[in-house]
Amino acid sequence: MRTQVAIIGGGPSGLLLSHLLHLNGIDTVVLERKTKAYVLGRIRAGVLETGFVDLLREAKVSKRLDEEGFVHNGAVIAYGNSEFGIDFKELTGRHVVVYGQTEVTRDLYEARENTDGHLVFEAENVAIHGADTDAPFVTYQIAGTEKRLDCEFVAGCDGFHGVSRQTIPGSIRNEYEKIYPFGWLGVLSETPPVHEELIYSGSERGFALCSMRNSNLSRYYIQCSLKDSAAKWSDQAFWKELKRRIPEAYRDKLVTGPSIEKSIAPLRSFVTEPMRWGRLFLCGDAAHIVPPTGAKGLNTAASDVHYLLNGLVQHYHDKDPSGLDRYSETALARVWKAERFSWATTTLLHRFPDQTEFDIKMQQADVEFLRESLSAQKVFAENYVGLPY
């Protein structure tokens, strides 16, 4: 089998790249290790930047997003019982949209299937060959039978644990990582959101986030120990702890109920450089991870797709290699800014095991500065709604 662009990974970034390339007359094959049902069963965040929403509209897959997505014009920052709002719309003229990653993926699968996109599921033992040559190819197995996919370029959209990043020789890769000494315990419940905007709350007991998926589906998180397990947290214990970490004004308003999903996610910042080796290009989590505090994980993947899409279109339509040549440098410049925002927001509102009283006072001063300074709020808002591509 032969294609122009082999895409490793059938998550949202791989599917979005595939569909946008299709709309530009460029052939792709998407290889996914898991089943479609497994991919759609993964629970992920869903705060979408303006740029990502524009990409989905460009891909002609925004119908449900436009009908069902929650437009958010701001966010609430809380510290103890004190709170204040940051108005994204007033400060930047833009907003974000809450629309679950699962739903984005579902829409993209439907679009690829409606246009006879070539999707290969349960592709095991994927290996990338000749990425540093003019004739790369990918091998994989389906039910134990080896297959070969010849291509002109490979897009590695297969996440942190995928094969794409590991294909780049260690002598070429530079990896930068920060592991945070805590995780997030997240609960999904069929309850109305406690507030129309997201609440980011710091407290002496640790961080909490109040979010939502729709008008009767809420997502809540609390900072927890990495030694914790979700099974040890009863629903009652979770709700009790969440109420301790949010301002009193919201404790009585919080509607609780049985959890329909509960899990713990570790937090890390990670970047690998370069994001290109020969004809292999890394996208999304294959190249970088951010802590979820800044809502940048899916959005940085979208910006990678934007830059790689433009580079491939230039290559095929205009015989111009400059976009592909600059891909890694251009993508990384934006990635590092997203990493900075996610790190800074995490540092602002979480409790760290080794924090001194001085550190806590500095944290409180940072929150107060953000409250009092419109300039600081504008910087926060500009980063939250998404820096330009």
Catalytic residue ranges: 72, 200, 292, 296, 384
What whole-number distance in Å separates Cα of residue 274 and Cα of residue 174? 7
